[in-house]
Structure 1
Amino acid sequence: MPIRLSDHFSYRRLLRFVLATIIMMIVASVYSVVDGFFVSNVLWKNAFAAVNLMMPVVMALGSFGFMIGTGGSTLIAKTLGEGDERRAKDYFTMLICVVVVAGIVLSTIGFIFMPQIAGSLGVSDAIIEDAIVYGRTFILGNIFFMLQNSFQSFLVAAEKPQMGLVISLMAGITNIVLDFLLISVWGLGVFGAAMATIIGQAVGGHIPLMYFWGNRSSRLCFVKARMDFSALGKACVNGSSEMLTNLSVSVVGMLYNIQLIRIAAENGVSAYGVIMYVNFIFMGFFFGYAIGSAPVIGYHYVAKNMAELKSLFIKSLVITGAVSLIMTLLAEAFALPLYKLFLGYDAKLLGITVKGMCL
């Protein structure tokens, strides 16, 4: 039986509704992890350090998609709650157009200034070429990354979270297969790692684009729409916390890398990079829960169902608190076997990484 935004949400119903989005976000987090696994084990630690130095940069440039997706889906759910489906479709179409334009602009800026960005991060001569190649290649697919992040939220607002999960799995499998082929089989190095990721993101961004373009029976689809700066502003304000969370993680990552490259050279950057890979997967749960539950909260807020809102708030605190505790215990217990997957070839680097993770 399908779950509607207007339903009463028990713990079971709430978890069922957000589960697909949580898995979507975890799968999206796996993109960078898979790149890191193949780069580390095939190309070794210098190339791995180059990828880790540039990852926060490209993630920061793609965070605009999180803002539009999260903030826009809340606005759209609110509008659907008011019973105005036509206006919801107008907002949806306009916001996707904004994402496309922003993706083109940010990709162009990032591609042009990537050597300067790499230099500002203190990249050493030993890895700067790999860092620029990876950064420039990855940033060319930034528009797909932003679209995928946005559609993850909009599919929830359209009451199609399971479809979003299937698309994310398809994108993730594409990325994994291409990482193996491009890095291990065809020897394309960090260029191959970046290409595998952006092709996977293209799958995740293109399929929902075609679905919303051709499916007129969906609660959301593309229509002829005009620019509404007021609605755009509301979407940006609503989603600004999501964007700033991603930006803060990226900026902190850049600052750590600048210091680590001075203190411990490539070993320090590699150790921190692997810790962050596992962290990305763990954080995928919380991003997924936030994105998956936002349309539900927006709908009931407009409907003035205060009792349901309070219930959702308490359930959310219980769920996220319990998962936080479980993840902390898992991280402590499985630090060594997790990091052996990435750094089993270097005992010294493995020891540094495991100690850092446990701290």
Structure 2
Amino acid sequence: MQIKLSDHFTYGRLFRFVLPSIMMMVFISIYGVVDGLFVSNFVGKTQFAAINLIMPVLMILGALGFMVGTGGSAIVAKTLGEGEHEKANRYFSMLVYVVVGGGLAISMLGFVFMPSISRFLGASGDLLESCVLYGRIMMASLTGFMLQNVFQAFLITAEKPRMGLLITVAAGCTNIVLDFLFIVVFHWGLAGAAIATAMSELVAGLVPLGYFLRENTSLLRLGRTRFMGAILLKTCINGSSELMTHISMSIVTVLYNFQLMRLAGENGIAAYGVIMYVHFIFASIYLGYGVGCAPIFGFHYGAKNKCELQNMFKKSFRIIAVVGLLLAITAISFAGPLAKLFVGYDQELWQMTSHGLRVFSIAFLFSGFNTFGSALFTALSNGVVSAIISFVRVMIFEVSAIIFLPILFGLNGIWCSIIVAEVLALGVTGSFIAAKRKRYGYL
């Protein structure tokens, strides 16, 4: 039986509804890690460092699609909750078309300026050449990557979360198989990794585009529309927290790389790359839950159903607390084997990576609440509060920690930065949740 946004959500119904979103985000993280796994073990440490150095730029560009998806899906879900189905489809169509046009334009600019971007990040010599090669190939699939991020949210709003999961699995399998074929069999090196990822992103972006362009059984369909600047602006403001999160994380990654290059050289960048891969996979559980439950909050907020908002909030808070404890224990316990999977060929690098991962993983106890808080306010169409949480969490607390803690504690200060940032951000998130409880009625 299909679960609808208008349903009352028990734990079982909630798990069934959000599980495809969680699995989708986890799978995206896993197949995003595959390039690094193959390149590190079959191509070389320098090329592996190049991927980690240029990846923040690619994530910032792709995050524009995530902003439109999360911000727009909240508006569309609220409009559906108000019973305005035709208007919701016009909003949906306009937003998707804007992403297609913007993605094509940005990809051309990115291709032209990739050498300058790579130099700005500190690349030179072989590292610069590898960054430009990987980055330019990835520009070919940027529009697909942006659409993938858009449809992750809209497939849930359309009550098709399982379809989103299946598309993600298909894209992930494409990436994994082609990585093996292009790198291990054909020996195409870093270019092979980039081509494999680009093709998987095109699969993930174009397949749902084709689905929504034809008649379907979901709540949404692409059709005739017009440009609506006010809705686009509201979407961007509403989704600004998600954009801010991705941009902030990418900027912070660049800052981490600068500090690690200074303290530990190329080994430091490689170690942080492995830590971030593990962090992406584990944190994607929180992100997937936020993406999965956001349309539920948005729908019931539009329907003025405060009882269901309270039900969802209490259940979400308990789930995140339990998951956070399990993630922290798991990451700390398996830090050694996870590090060995990527850099087991270098004993010094393995020791640095496994130690850093153990320290870094303590942050999972706190980060889920901050991720959920930001997603909650986006779903309630309060993008300003959501953006403030994201901005303060990363751009103030984490940036400050990365700059000052290494002065006192050296390399360990870098690994502890995220813990300090998440604890401080939790105070901000909790303050906003308490302050806005009467306005929205979730408590």
Fold in common (TM above 0.5): yes
- The answer (yes or no) to whether the contact 1:35–1:179 under 8 Å persists in 2 is yes
Partner of 2:148: 148
What secondary structure sits across from 1:246 in the alignment?
helix
TM, length-normalised to structure 2: 0.79
In 1, Cα distance between the equivalents of 2:308 and 2:299? 11
Partner of 2:186: 186
Question: Do 1:122 and 1:261's aligned partners in 2 also have CA atoms closer than 8 Å?
Answer: no
How big is each residue's C-alpha offset from its partner over 1:14-49, in whole Å with a ceiling of 9 and x where there is no partner? 111011011111111123210000000001211111
| Residue equivalent to 1:200 | 200
Q: State the distance in 1 between where 2:105 and 2:258 align.
A: 27
Closer, same or farther: CA 124–267 of 1 in aligned 2, 3 Å: farther
Could you tell me which amino acid in structure 2 is paired with residue 34 of structure 1?
A: V
CA distance in 1, matches of 2:125, 2:258: 14
Please say which of residues 163-172 and 313-322 is displaced more in the overlay: 313-322
The answer to which of 326-335 and 237-246 deviates more is 237-246
Q: Which residue in 2 is equivalent to 1:316?
A: 316
* Equivalent position of 1:38 in the other structure: 38
Partners of 1:286 and 1:66 lie apart in 2 by 15
Counterpart of 2:356 in structure 1 is 356
| Range moving further from structure 2, 209-218 or 283-292 | 209-218
1:211 corresponds to which residue? Answer: 211
Instruction: Determine the structure 2 residue equivalent to 1:135.
Output: 135
CA distance in 2, matches of 1:11, 1:124: 52
Give the superposition deviation at 1:140.
2.1
Question: Is residue 121 of structure 2 the alignment partner of residue 117 of structure 1?
Answer: no
Query: Could you tell me whether the CA contact under 8 Å between 1:57 and 1:254 is conserved in 2?
Result: no
Structure having greater relative contact order (Cα 8 Å, sep ≥ 6)? 1
For residue 23 of structure 1, what is the amino acid of its counterpart?
M
Relative to the length of structure 1, the TM-score reads: 0.98
CA contact (8 A) 2:99 2:147 kept: yes
The aligned counterpart of 1:261 is 261
Runs of 5+ unmatched residues, structure 1 = none
User: Could you tell me which amino acid in structure 2 is paired with residue 98 of structure 1?
Assistant: V
What is the deviation of 1:217? 4.2
| 2:106 alignment partner in structure 1 | 106
Is residue 47–residue 127 contact of structure 1 (8 Å, CA) maintained in 2?
Answer: yes
Match of 2:5 in 1: 5
3-state SS, counterpart of residue 222 of structure 1: coil
For the 8 Å contact 2:28–2:168, the answer to whether it is kept is yes
1:331 paired with 2:357, answer no
Structure 2 runs not aligned, ≥5 long: 360-443
Match for residue 165 of structure 1? 165
User: Does the 8 A contact of 1:335 with 1:358 survive in 2?
Assistant: yes
Deviations 1:156-181 (A, max 9, x none): 01100001111100000000000001
Q: Is the 8 A contact 1:39 1:189 kept in 2?
A: yes
Aligned to 2:81: 81
SS class of match (2:44):
helix
Map of 1:63 onto structure 2: 63
Counterpart code for 1:330 = T
The answer to whether the Cα contact below 8 Å between 2:336 and 2:354 also exists between their aligned partners in 1 is yes
CA contact (8 A) 1:93 1:222 kept: yes
Deviations 1:54-97 (A, max 9, x none): 11111111101111111111111111111111111101110001
CA distance in 1 between counterparts of 2:106 and 2:284 reads: 24
- Cα deviation, residue 215, structure 1: 2.0
Secondary structure in 1 aligned to 2:125? coil
Instruction: Give the aligned partner of residue 175 of structure 1.
Output: 175
C-alpha change, 1:139 and 1:31, in structure 2 (3 Å) is farther
Q: Which has the higher mean CA deviation after the structures are superposed, 127-136 or 272-281?
A: 127-136
Q: Map 1:244-255; keep pairs closer than 5 Å.
A: 244-255=244-255
* 1:343 matched to 2:343: yes
Q: What's the % identity of the aligned pairs?
A: 52
1:126 maps to what in 2?
126
Q: Distance in 2 between matches of 1:82 and 1:345?
A: 58
Are the aligned partners of 2:159 and 2:218 in contact in 1 as well (CA < 8 Å)? no
**Hey, what's the Cα distance between the residues in 2 that align with 1:323 and 1:89?**
35
Alpha-carbon separation, structure 2, partners of 1:180 and 1:19: 29
* One-letter amino acid of the counterpart of residue 62, structure 1: G
Aligned-partner Cα distance in 2 for 1:16–1:217: 20
Distance in 2, Cα, partners of 1:306 & 1:237: 24
One-letter amino acid of the counterpart of residue 262, structure 2: R
2-structure distance, mates of 1:212, 1:218: 9
Partner AA of 2:120 in structure 1: S
Match of 2:22 in 1: 22
Is the Cα contact below 8 Å between 2:160 and 2:218 reproduced in 1? no
Counterpart CA distance in 2 for 1:297 and 1:236 is 19
User: 1:142-161 CA deviation, whole Å, 9 max, x = no partner?
Assistant: 11111001101111011000
Amino acid at match of 2:234: K
- The corresponding residue for 1:50 is 50
- The answer (yes or no) to whether the contact 1:123–1:261 under 8 Å persists in 2 is no
Report the CA distance between 1:216 and its aligned residue: 4.5
RMSD: 1.1
Kept in 1: contact 2:179–2:193 (CA 8 A): yes
Deviation, 1:264, is 2.1
Q: Secondary structure at the match of 1:6?
A: coil
2:387 maps to which residue?
Answer: none
Is the CA contact (8 Å cut-off) linking 2:182 and 2:188 kept in structure 1?
Answer: yes
Structure 1 ranges of 4+ moved more than 4 A: none
Q: Residues of 1 paired with 2:161 and 2:293: CA distance?
A: 11
Comparing 227-236 with 91-100, which one deviates more in the overlay?
A: 227-236
